Amino acid sequence: MAAPFLAASQRVKRRNLRDRAFVYWGLAATLIALGTLATLVWDLIADGGSRLGFEFFTSFPSRIAGDAGIFPAWVGSLFVILTTAAIAVPIGVLSGLYLEEYARKNWLTNAIEIAVNNLAGVPSIIYGLLALGLFVQAFAMGETVLTAGLTLALLILPIVIVATREAVRAVPQDLRQAALALGATKWQATAHHVLPNALPGVTTGVIIGVSRAIGETAPLICIGAATFVAFLPIKAPGDPVRYTVEYASPADAERYPDATLSVRAGADTTIRYPDGRIETVTPGETVQAPAGSDVSTTASFGDAAASWLPWNWLEQPYTVMPIQMFNWTSRPEAAFRENAAAAGLALLAITLLLNGAAIWLRYRLRRRIRW
């Protein structure tokens, strides 16, 4: 009689041993990952910690490493991420709601679900090549903030859709059935009960997607992001403004070959004509400039206010922090690598803040859920 009990006891011991071994292996893997991360962060701090300061964040790039900063890079990152979130979040959340709550289960929705899940794992360089062919070449949108925002929106859209679907799926069916039983329509039940209770998961997915987008480099290199930018997408009064007088279309150039454009001079306005002449214009004077003339002036208060409108800065060239880091690491001087390490620390801090905000928001929103 003792033999069966002895055999069972030995099996229990082996299972407990395997259980403890799994715990130890998991702990070892976690410690290795944390140790690697701590080593990399310490290496960044050792290389670039001395460069972190107010001037580093408020200075423009320079050929002199000690004078270079990331002002245009972090401002450009901010505008690109705002554009990305404004495009990806509404489309992603509504698409996830539709697929989970409204779409019929058939071959088409199954194909869409498979496509969305697969797109979430596609390398980012593929999105860059797609955006290069579609936005830059086919639609002739150029290397602008809007092009970058659309590219990164395509990148994080599957992440937002999947996160929304998982969060909506986690809401108990009893809430939907109770709302419908009390006379609510399908949309009222979704908008007033399902979505508010799914908001913690949706918010977490959105912030994680944005955290990924803010560190992407490959797709932005593909679409031609500038590696050296000494200006901002927006202007302040007194900032230098340079533009070239151009025809609205090639047809206008053929129809009116001798047409000129009225240029009203501001402060410190200089015009370089196509024949090489340079003229300094009195402020307030209006000059007729032919096509091909280069105008250099300073921004007035009205120009600065207009530059903040979305349809103006969306069409401006840009750079972002990963691109600026890529530019510095490609230079031979060690001082530029210190700048890249400092920019990496700033980017890492932003990513950690975003992920911390996701955890905090999820905790706060879940406290309001009563089910």
Length of the chain, in residues: 371
pLDDT digits (tens, 9 = 90+) for 95-151: 999 988 888 888 888 888 888 888 888 888 888 888 888 888 888 888 888 898 999
Half-sphere exposure in the Cβ direction for 198 (13 Å, CA): 32
Residues in CB range of 180: below 8 A, 6 or more apart:
186, 189
- What amino acid occupies position 229? V
Three-class secondary structure of residue 269 per DSSP:
strand
Say what the pLDDT of residue 238 is.
64
Q: Residue 146 to residues 93, 124, 127, 322: CA-CA distances in angstroms?
A: 21, 18, 15, 18
Report, at the CATH architecture level, how domain 65-229+331-367 is classified. Orthogonal Bundle (1.10)
The region that residue 276 occupies, defined by phi over 0 for left and psi between -120 and 50 for alpha, beta otherwise, is left
- What amino acid occupies position 303? D
d(CA 250, CA 246): 10
Place of tokens 């395509």: 154
Between CA 245 and CA 256, with CA 251 as vertex, the angle to 5 degrees is: 65
Say what the pLDDT of residue 283 is.
73
Say what the pLDDT of residue 88 is.
92
List the chain residues with pLDDT less than 70.
1-8, 226-232, 234-240, 243, 247-253, 256, 259, 263-267, 284, 299-308, 369-371
Say what the pLDDT of residue 226 is.
65
d(CA 7, CA 251): 92
**Beta carbons within 10 angstroms of residue 139's beta carbon:** 12
> What is the Rg, in whole angstroms, of the alpha carbon atoms belonging to the chain?
28
Pairing state of beta strands 294-298 and 286-290? unpaired
Return the bridge partners of 272, or none: 278, 294
Instruction: Locate 253 and state its tokens.
Output: 């150039």
Say what the pLDDT of residue 4 is.
65
Three-class secondary structure of residue 296 per DSSP:
strand
Q: Residue 298 to residues 59, 265, 268, 306, 307: CA-CA distances in angstroms?
A: 20, 9, 6, 14, 13
d(CA 314, CA 139): 15
Instruction: Locate 146 and state its tokens.
Output: 């809007």
Say what the pLDDT of residue 248 is.
61
Longest dimension (CA), the chain: 111
DSSP at 190: I
Say what the pLDDT of residue 9 is.
72
